[in-house]
Amino acid sequence: MMRIFFLFTFSVTFFSCNSSRLQPTAEEMQKIRFDLSQLDENGLLGPENGKVALDYEFCIPQKGQYRQEVERIDPSLKIQTAKGRIGCSRDQYLCLGNTHQKNYKEVLYRLARLSYIERIERTFFE
């Protein structure tokens, strides 16, 4: 019985401590350069009969550990060695993702927390 009580107490404490970190700081929110309030609960925007996902891009250093970290956070990512509209340098990867995924806000918040991501911009494909 004591073991169950301990596990319950630990779980409540652990999840309550982590849940406060789901909300990004003002500095982290400034990295996300588009309006999240335009998106519905499914990460889509636009009229009811023409909803689309919002595509975004950001740069990360060309290091395996950073690539693995962002891929774990955001399953929608496509990673390239291109400049993109955002202008990644030769020693950076271009990361392309979209909001049509489960928990898209949490994904963006977690990306914005990473010190090596300077900004996350909306991107448009032609």
Domains, the chain, with CATH or none: 24-122 (3.30.70.260)
CA–CA separation, 115 vs 11, rounded Å? 28
User: Token pair for residue 32?
Assistant: 């996300």
CA–CA separation, 84 vs 26, rounded Å? 26
- pLDDT band for 4, please (50, 70, 90 cuts): low
pLDDT tens digits, 51-104: 999 999 999 999 999 999 999 999 999 999 999 999 999 999 999 999 999 999
> Could you tell me which residues are beta bridge partners of residue 60?
93
CA–CA separation, 77 vs 71, rounded Å? 6
92: alpha, beta or left? (left if phi > 0; alpha if psi -120 to 50) = beta
> Could you tell me which residues are beta bridge partners of residue 52?
45
Report the predicted TM-score, pTM, of the whole model to 2 decimal places: 0.81
